[in-house]
Structure 1
Amino acid sequence: MNVEHEISLLVREIQRLGSKNAEGQTSVKFGVLFNDDECANIFEALVGTLRAAKRKKFISFDGELLLQGVHDNVDIVLLKD
C-alpha cells in the first residue's frame, strides 16, 4: 500500500464532499466520508488512511480514532491541498 497515494485520494475526496468552513478550510463530517459509496470503493481502511494523513499533517480531527456511528459528526479539516 502506497500511503502517499492513499492520502492524495483522501484529499481529493474531502475536497469533493466537503465545504469551506469559517476559516476558509475545507471540512467534511466523518459520517459523510464514511457513508459515501465512492469512498467505500476507494479505501479498504478509511480509518487507517485518516490516521496516516493526520500524522503527516494533511488533515486534523478531534481524537485519535474515529468510529462509525459514534463519531459521525466529527469534522475532518483539510490542512493541505
Structure 2
Amino acid sequence: MNVEHEISLLVEEMQRLGTRGPDGKLSVKFGVLFQDDKCANLFEALVGTLKAAKRRKIVTYQGELLLQGVHDDVEIVLLQN
C-alpha cells in the first residue's frame, strides 16, 4: 500500500473512533486506535502511518514515537479532514 492511501485510511478511522473537542478538532487516543480490531487489521505499521501523517501536517501529537501501553493516553489530533 502506498503512504497516501494509508493516511487516508487513518483519517477515516480517526473520524470513526474520535471525538470533537471544544475547539472543534477531532481527536482520538493512541490506545483506542492501537487496540481497535479494524485498525489492527488495516494497518501493518500504525506508528509509521502516524509519523508519515504528522510529517505531512495531517495529524499532530506529543512526542516522536508512540509505543503501545506507554503512550495509550496520548491524543492524536486531526488537523485537516
CA distance in 2, matches of 1:21, 1:75: 11
Give identity over the alignment, percent.
Answer: 72
| Cα distance, 1:2 vs structure 2 | 0.6
2:13 matched to 1:3? no
Between the aligned partners of 1:10 and 1:17, the Cα distance in structure 2 is 10
Q: Which residue of 1 aligns with 2:16?
A: 16
Aligned twin of 2:73? 73
Task: Find out whether 1:34 has 2:18 as its counterpart.
Answer: no
Amino acid across the alignment from 2:37: D
**Displacement after TM superposition at 1:22 (Å):** 1.3
Match runs of 1:34-53 below 5 Å: 34-53=34-53
Partner of 1:60: 60
| TM-align CA RMSD | 0.5
Q: Aligned partners of 1:59 and 1:46: how far apart in 2?
A: 13
Shift of 1:28: 0.2
Shift of 1:60: 0.2
Q: Distance in 2 between matches of 1:36 and 1:62?
A: 21
Where in structure 2 are there 5+ consecutive unaligned residues? none
Q: Secondary structure at 1:23's aligned position in 2?
A: coil
